[in-house]
A and B are shown apart, each in its own frame.
Chain A
Amino acid sequence: MLNLENCLLCLALVASIGVFQSGLTSVYAAGNDDSNAKEIGAWGIDNYSDNPSYPPPNSYLRYATEEAQGFYDRMVEKGFTPRFGYYNYSAWESDFEKQSVGGNDYIYADSCDFVYFAGHGWTDHFAFGGNHDGDGAYPFKAYSTFGSAEVDWGDQDMEWIFISASHSLEEFPYEWDPAFHSPITLHGIGGFHTGPGDTWESSHTGSYFVLFATEGGESIYSAWRDATIEWQESGYCGAMYSVYVIYPPPQPTVHYRNEHLLGIAEGMYPDPPPPGGVSIYKEYTKWQC
């Protein structure tokens, strides 16, 4: 009887350990889930009427949601997996923020491989219409600067994010550096050194990035660059941060900006290797539109 109880206890222990382990494994697997590398999300905000930084009548952009939706619709049309299309009040800052500051990026933005944001912003943040800040530190903003970044992307799924907001990737002070999770798995960020515009013309930027990267067969860098040159005023500058890995010779160096969307040309590159034996940099390019 005692033996039977012991056996049952052992069995229960083994079973619970097994379940616990499988739970851990699945959480870990989700930590860099490439089972579906075509998941996309788009966030766009025109309505800033509840954001005190944009009081009336400055509360509205005209074409940001259209731009984000253009990216979303074209990506879905080209066979990518739609995860989230959140606009105006449905677009929350916590969708982009890490868990340690009360965010849910692991459920939302960082569970997508390709993410597009269009709306207001500045060099150290992009802005939202409502206040959904997890810890109250930077309300209405997904904020990033050295020492106090609310974002940490790439530990889940995210490979690329495009931030179509004012001065989102200004040359200095390089405030989005902490947004790259360490070790680096995010491949790059597209954005603007100056600009973007808020015109009907400029609203084509998101959809034509997709067309250039798919139908046009262009690399992610070329597609983003061409989309901004084609649809933004020439006075603005587009920009990109992307990962650059130098392997020991004779292996070739890898500029992640040269990779393509999945299924196009040679497709995407594997995530950057862990540090050690290689040099990993983030390179910055800006261009006149």
Chain B
Amino acid sequence: MECPSTKNIPNGNVEVVKINRISKIALSFLLITTAVGSLYFGFTQFWRQRAFKILLPSLGRGTTGNGYVTATLNCSLPEIPDKLPFLRVVRQDYADAKAKSMAADVFEMTGELHVTRPAISLNGTVVRVVNGTQTLEIYEDGALRFMPNFQEAGYNITLPELSQARGIAGQFIDRFLKKAESSYLKPNCSLQIVLSEVDYACWYAIPPSPTVPVEIRVSYRVLYNAIPLIFKGSFYVTIGDSGKILEFRCYWRNVEPADPLSITITPEQAIENMGNNSDIVGRNPLQVREITINSVQLGYFTPSPLLGTDKFLPAYEIMFVATFEDGSQSTYETYVSSTTASIPY
């Protein structure tokens, strides 16, 4: 006996059910594909297509008014906290005996050590220790500069490979950090040193011969609680002939976290505001056609130790390539405050 209800179900209904199933499967496939695609583009491509309009008060020579340039984002934008403490600089006076002790113990300077205090800073004291061939400079805020070898001008330079230079610098830094750990030199705060770049940094020529590299710079980022010191928070080793270390610039600082500041400027706003800086392409007189932003990073704006700054404020470091009217391109960096406080830039 047939079930009337089943029997009475019109074939068409059955067909409808079949169509719905196919639709659902197709729809599901479409949704999954879209989701996967969105995820892919979201993570890899979406930000590449973002563009900002930046108002530049000066587009360069030959322009007739304020104008906008398109800044294409070629990187991801950083996640930012709501608040970040600014860093207060802790200064200390290095007595002659302490300075000599550091030079001998940490930098292995030998011979007769002389201490002077050259007035090369308008805003603070620099202690200089010399032994005739080597120089160590110690700043009140903890920044250091060590010059163990001098390199004369000329072509007779044999540089190591970049990878070798990285190794030489790494060994030097490891040794330095171990020795600094047990001295007054290392800042008494959370600190990380992260390798950032190995590249040539000085070139020489007798024109019209082309220049040849004569120095390699192995650069590191100094991080305080994962936030980098930007601008002149330099930390690098310069390597010259036969792998000799020419300079160790260690512009880390003795700081302590102070009051939290609200991060009121988003990375997007920082990009839009970068045109407010005094000419962002320096004194380059060419007209800017477009900008490609390769990096936006939140950090602590750290001026030269010679400036004697009391605090380091949160700010964005924006690295970009400007394309000019003649097609030439140059790399630039600019800095924008991430709070209501202005930075000394």
A contact set with B: CB distance below 8 Å: 53-58, 61-64, 119-122, 127, 165-167, 171-172, 174, 177, 194-202, 204, 207-208, 211-212, 215-217, 221, 230-231, 233-236, 244, 255, 257-258, 281-288
Contact = CB atoms under 8 A, between A and B. Distances in A.
B57 interface: yes
Contact of B153 (A165, A197, A212, A257): A257
Contacts of A208: 120, 306
Given A57-B66, A284-B204, A287-B202, A244 B282 contact: no
14 contacts: A62-B279, A166-B283, A172-B210, A196-B283, A197-B282, A199-B278, A200-B344, A202-B282, A208-B120, A230-B304, A282-B207, A284-B204, A285-B202, A288-B201
A174 B205 CA distance: 11
Contacts of B267: none
A201 B63 contact: no
Given A61-B283, A120-B285, A216 B120 contact: yes
Contact of A121 (B119, B283, B330): B283
Nearest to B121: A211
Contact of A283 (B60, B65, B153, B199): B153
B278 A62 contact: yes
B46 to A, nearest CB: 27
A198 B120 contact: no
Contacts of A120: 283, 285
B203 A255 contact: no
B253 to A, nearest CB: 15
Nearest to B209: A284
A288 B208 CA distance: 21
B205 A284 contact: yes
Nearest to A58: B58
Nearest to B321: A235
Q: Which of A54, A62, A201 has the most CB of B within 10 A?
A: A201
Contacts of A172: 207-208, 210
B151 to A, nearest CB: 11
A197 B22 CA distance: 65
Contacts of B202: 285-288
Contacts of B122: 207, 211
Q: Which of B59, B234, B282 has the most CB of A within 10 A?
A: B282
Given A236-B282, A286-B211, A199 B345 contact: yes
Interface string B295-336: 000000001101100000000000100000000001111000
B277 interface: yes
A221 B283 CA distance: 22
B146 to A, nearest CB: 14
Contacts of B330: 194, 235
A218 to B, nearest CB: 9
